[in-house]
């Protein structure tokens, strides 16, 4: 396979994921990422999935899968091509070998949702339309192979869910999804990512008006206490159990202009459980 064929066949999304780079904002055709060569608060790297190319609005530079690897690894074209050999172009899936020496697991593959059991699980939770926001994770633990729906946090850890398990591989952390057009006006907070996916299904949702914070556990709230002070409005979609209610009360007492939306799903454990009943 020559260089031009690689540029056409390898998904730029997959290549970015191999560097643990994920969209801040996206739709079915394009996505915005933070720049790959500098720190920034507003994402300026626009990735066109149809053209399989990226454009940095901050520098005016364009990238394909080869040049983006060159930039990220500071390497030659030949070295970039060697890096891209790790990809299986027949199935367009990313082969990884992520090992945490302090854990007894190994992530073997990250790809789009394909397994029938995971598709059925997403449909059973009525969030199949949001499958582009999660990944299929194949991993090994204690010598046994497993798979699940994966949702990444801001430390590169991944929340794993399927019909039978609820675990986190890697470091536990929150997932903050910032909208560059929001300017810290509003943030919606969810306890788990299935509630976030459910929210996107609700009528009259204006995604462009909010940032989103998925705690992945109420215990992670301490990581974002200072961040929330920057927002003019905080909208809560926390669980209705003891931990969720306690955190809701604490946030209402600590910050101004807080809206508790749990009244919407009163009598149910969380937003997703309520949505399944309607």
Burial of 69 (0-12, 13-18, 19+ CB in 10 A): buried
pLDDT at residue 199 in the model: 93
Domain boundaries, the chain: 3-88, 93-169, 175-277
Question: Is the whole model's pTM more than 0.95, yes or no?
Answer: no
| 229 vs 116: CA distance, rounded Å | 43
Closest CA to 158 of 23, 20, 19: 20
Helix/strand/coil percentages in the chain, nearest 5: 35, 25, 40
| 231 vs 104: CA distance, rounded Å | 39
Sign (positive/negative) of CA torsion 1, 32, 176, 121?
Answer: negative
| 67 vs 163: CA distance, rounded Å | 40
User: Residue 271: CA atoms inside 13 Å, Cβ hemisphere, count?
Assistant: 23
pLDDT at residue 89 in the model: 41
Classified as helix, coil or strand, 119 is helix
pLDDT at residue 203 in the model: 80
Please, what CATH class does the domain formed by 175-277 belong to? alpha beta
pLDDT at residue 37 in the model: 87
Closest CA to 119 of 129, 109, 133: 129
Instruction: Evaluate whether 187 touches 233 at the Cβ level (below 8 Å).
Output: yes
CB atoms closer than 10 angstroms to residue 31: 22
Taking only the tens of pLDDT, the chain with its 278 residues reads 456 767 777 788 878 877 878 888 877 678 889 988 888 888 889 998 888 899 998 888 899 998 999 998 888 888 888 778 766 443 333 333 444 445 577 888 889 999 999 999 999 999 999 998 999 999 988 788 999 999 999 888 899 998 888 888 888 899 998 876 666 789 999 999 999 999 998 887 655 578 899 999 998 998 899 889 989 999 999 999 988 999 999 999 999 999 999 999 999 999 999 999 98
Which tokens belong to 264? 């919407």
Burial of 192 (0-12, 13-18, 19+ CB in 10 A): buried
The enclosing H or E element of 142 equals none
Asked if 3-88 and 175-277 have one fold, the answer is no
Fold of the domain built from segment(s) 3-88: DNA Primase; Chain A (3.90.580)
pLDDT at residue 98 in the model: 41
| 11 vs 51: CA distance, rounded Å | 10
pLDDT at residue 46 in the model: 92
| 214 vs 124: CA distance, rounded Å | 21
List, in sequence order, the alpha helices (H) in the chain: 3-9, 12-18, 65-73, 77-84, 116-124, 193-199, 242-254, 271-277
């Amino acid at each position: 396979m020559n260089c031009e064929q690689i540029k056409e066949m390898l998904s730029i999304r997959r290549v970015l994921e191999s560097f643990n780079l994920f969209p801040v904002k996206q739709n079915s055709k394009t996505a915005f990422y933070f720049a790959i060569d500098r720190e920034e608060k507003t994402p300026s790297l626009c990735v066109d999935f149809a053209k399989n190319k990226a454009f940095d609005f901050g520098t005016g530079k364009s990238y394909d899968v080869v040049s983006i690897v060159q930039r990220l690894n500071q390497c030659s074209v030949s070295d970039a091509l060697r890096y891209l050999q790790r990809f299986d172009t027949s199935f367009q899936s990313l082969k990884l070998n992520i090992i945490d020496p302090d854990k007894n697991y190994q992530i073997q593959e990250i790809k789009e949702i394909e397994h029938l059991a995971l598709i059925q699980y997403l449909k059973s939770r009525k969030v199949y339309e949001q499958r582009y926001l999660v990944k299929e994770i194949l991993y090994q633990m204690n010598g046994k192979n497993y798979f699940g729906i994966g949702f990444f946090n801001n430390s590169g850890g991944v929340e794993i869910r399927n019909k039978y398990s609820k675990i986190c591989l890697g470091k536990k952390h929150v997932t903050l999804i910032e909208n560059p057009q929001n300017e810290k006006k509003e943030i919606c907070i969810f306890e788990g990512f299935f509630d976030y996916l459910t929210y996107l299904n609700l009528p009259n949702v204006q995604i462009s008006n909010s940032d989103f914070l998925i705690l992945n556990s109420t215990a992670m709230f301490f990581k974002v206490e200072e961040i929330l002070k920057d927002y003019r409005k905080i909208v809560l979609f926390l669980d209705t159990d003891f931990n969720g209610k306690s955190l809701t009360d604490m946030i209402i007492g600590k910050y101004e202009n807080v809206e508790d939306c749990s009244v919407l799903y009163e009598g149910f454990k969380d937003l997703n459980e309520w949505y399944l009943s309607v």
